[in-house]
């Protein structure tokens, strides 16, 4: 099981942004399986949710890192059953690890402020890849995000992420698309994503087996 504990960065300067981030996560998770307990406020400007799908976890984490206003702690492991209706009332290894992870994440720079605790060395591998993806994304320009968001939308619609389709959607040349894609490291990101999802799924399998 995956527990995400997420704490706002710089809340004294920016005010309470919990409603906005809950809406953001709602958009990412809408219509997808894998949400065990919906995200909700735990205390102050901290939120928490429980998921059981590695791909969904990665998508949520990367959206939170893109926002750059959150420290993200991911705990992987067993949870005490039955789970209560709200995650803040739950317990288990995954919750303890998420708490430790978010405290470590607070020491990281924005854009890569994520930490993973899972009881094995594989957690360090997942954390390293998530931080790498976050760092890559933090360097993107608005033009880079425009092209990568367009390509992602094409894929989500079941269409190919052909550069000619992206060019038509944005009203720019295929050459301009190609340049933006290279600068944004889109292909490199797409190559890493399935790797981190696979490692995260294996980490969950390992911690569950270990708990049994």
Predicted confidence at residue 209, as pLDDT, reads: 52
- How much of the chain, in percent, has pLDDT values that exceed 90? 83
Q: What is the mean pLDDT of residues 113-126?
A: 96
Global confidence as pTM: 0.93
| 2: nearest Cα among 162, 130, 147 | 130
Burial class of residue 148, CB neighbours in 10 A (0-12, 13-18, 19+):
buried
Please name every residue paired with 41 in a beta bridge, in sequence order, or none if there are none.
Answer: 47
> Confidence class of residue 155 from pLDDT cuts 50, 70 and 90?
confident
* Least confident span in 7-21, 54-68, 96-110, 126-140: 7-21
Q: What pLDDT sits at residue 212?
A: 41
Which residue in 134, 154, 149, 156 sits closest to 67, CA to CA?
A: 134
Torsion of CA 138, 122, 116, 2, to 10 degrees: 110
**What whole-number distance in Å separates Cα of residue 69 and Cα of residue 62?**
12
- The pLDDT of 170-195, averaged and rounded, is 96
> pLDDT value at position 177?
95
**Residue 139 clears pLDDT 50, i.e. is over it:** yes
Helix/strand/coil for 3: strand
Q: What count of Cα atoms within 13 Å lies in the side-chain half-sphere of residue 206?
A: 14
Average pLDDT for the chain: 93
- Region 83-102 average pLDDT: 95
Task: Give the pLDDT mean for 81-98.
Answer: 94
The rounded radius of gyration (Å) of the Cα atoms in the chain is: 18
Torsion of CA 73, 74, 80, 82, to 10 degrees: 100
Residue 14 is predicted with a pLDDT of 72
- Which strands sit side by side in the sheet containing 2-8, from one edge to the other? 35-43, 46-51, 2-8, 70-76, 114-117
Domains of the chain in start order, with CATH, are 2-119 (3.30.70.270)
What is the three-class DSSP state of 75?
strand
Whether the per-residue pLDDT at 41 is higher than 70: the answer is yes
């Amino acid at each position: 099981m995956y527990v995400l504990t997420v704490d706002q960065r710089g809340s004294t300067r920016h005010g309470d942004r919990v409603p906005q981030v809950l809406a953001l996560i709602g958009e990412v998770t809408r219509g997808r399986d894998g949400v065990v307990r919906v995200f909700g406020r735990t205390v102050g400007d901290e939120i928490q949710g429980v998921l059981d799908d590695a791909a969904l976890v990665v998508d949520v984490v990367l959206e939170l890192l893109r926002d750059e206003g959150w420290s993200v702690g991911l705990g992987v492991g067993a949870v005490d059953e039955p789970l209560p209706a709200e995650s803040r009332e739950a317990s288990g290894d995954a919750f303890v690890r998420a708490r430790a992870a978010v405290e470590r994440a607070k020491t990281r720079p924005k854009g890569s402020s994520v930490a993973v605790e899972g009881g094995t060395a594989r957690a360090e591998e997942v954390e390293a890849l998530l931080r790498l993806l976050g760092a890559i994304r933090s360097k993107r320009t608005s033009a880079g995000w425009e092209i990568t968001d367009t390509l992602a939308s094409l894929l989500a619609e079941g269409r190919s992420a052909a550069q000619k389709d992206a060019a038509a959607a944005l009203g720019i040349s295929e050459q301009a698309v190609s340049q933006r894609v290279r600068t944004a490291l889109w292909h490199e990101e797409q190559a890493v994503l399935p790797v981190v999802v696979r490692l995260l799924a294996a980490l969950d399998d390992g911690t569950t087996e270990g708990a049994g």
